[in-house]
Structure 1
Amino acid sequence: MTNTENGSEKLELAGKRALVTGGSRGIGAAIVRQLLDAGAKVLTTARSATNTVPEGAAFVTADVQTRDGAEALATAARERLGGVDVLVHNAGGAGPYKGALAIPEEAWQDALDLNFLAAVRLDALLAPGMRERGSGAIVHVSSAAVPMVAPPFLHYTTAKAALENYSRGLAAELAPAGIRVNTVSPGRTATPGGEATREQWARLTEGPGQDTTAPPLGRDGLPDDIANAVLFLTSDRAGWLTGSNVVVDGGEFPRG
């Protein structure tokens, strides 16, 4: 996505250095592609080596679910990019259980580590560099399903609710330093990970697993629908926007 100015194309993120977690497929890969197309230099990561990373992006393996993994990724970002101007925490997910009380403690901890604490750790490691430079954009990918509080996914939506609350507080703290912090909350999106989770839910419940009715806008989301919002929030077009949560769900989960 580009802007045209005086007859020439201006890449929105030209010269920016971006780190995207969970960028090897689905929503993450779409975010990586759009940031690359906007002129950014992009480093992305996944827990294991893969050949699905969008062409043009650098890649390292890292488990952001652990403190050591987050520290190793931050070090790699500084070494390979020279610093980070744009940080997108997209890595996340959790499988369903029969109900809230059936969720084991280790699953709660895993959900918190991946969906919440991974972002907290990377922000703490990389935001100081943004503060020194006086600018930066951080986007945390949450979930439009947070208000639904479905018992089979309560560990996941609880972690994402914590992420949203933390993001608002961090936005207030970092705004005077010129750093913007926003959240994007996708609804049901056509991705390999989403499909696998829906199949797992169906097996668990011996039924469809969830409402299969299309959202009010008539279709499931596409990865680029979410990536469009992320690109906007990382660009100068969103220069007066911080502490927001952009819900991209086709009207699936209305919020008051």
Structure 2
Amino acid sequence: MNRRLLLAFATLSVLAVTAGCTGIFGGDQISDKQLEGDGNATYDWNTTADVTLNITSGEYQAVYDFSNRSQLKIFERESLGEETPVNVGTVRFRYRNGTVVTLNQSQVKRTNSRTVFTLPSREGKLAYTAPHRGKSFSTPTYVEGSYEVVLPRGMRVGTPILSQVRPDADQTEQLDGRVHIAWAEVTADNVVVRYYLARDLLIFAAVIAAGVLVALLGLAYFRLQIRQLEREREELGLNVDTDGDEFDQGPPPGMG
């Protein structure tokens, strides 16, 4: 009985060590089902920028237009600056002739800190989806070139306190209710966009207006209190006019 327990314990230990090594050495694979994603998923292949990042509710779609490239490695930064692989899904590649294929496990691998795409052709477009939350978006610039970020419907930039675009965009325009931010050439290490819901601007303006109103009322109350104190001093005779006081008539006779 003891031998059986020891054998079971040894087996569990081996499995635990194996699982640990898998995580340490980056052997975590992405399933073909995840790469296939929704069979009806579509991408905008008619993008004109080298990199297009389309942010929607809960995720974003990335489309990279490649020329003479065989591999792409992507990552994201955690709150403490740690680099981790991007959890991608619905990965597609479009050849120059228009043929679209799904990349498989051998072409999309996850290492300890990177998600690595091995492209089926050196020319074409790579597209994938990845999760996203919140009202800010940032990505390392894995490739240099032109970039375009499309914000979720109803989101805006332009108010300094509520939004930020870094580096400065070359063009910002609204098309079909969505804001498009474009850069002709990005050489910075990261693209960062912080945005706000359109109605947030109205709430912000209302808060500022309420703050100004409170400040004006406080100032009016303060001045009213000062005037009331001045009247009370006059009533008590504390505000005595010293003009013409006998002590201001000059020195005594003979000491002038």
Q: Same fold (TM over 0.5)?
A: no
TM-score under structure 1 length normalisation: 0.22
Tell me which of the two structures has the higher relative contact order, counting C-alpha pairs closer than 8 angstroms and 6 or more residues apart: 1
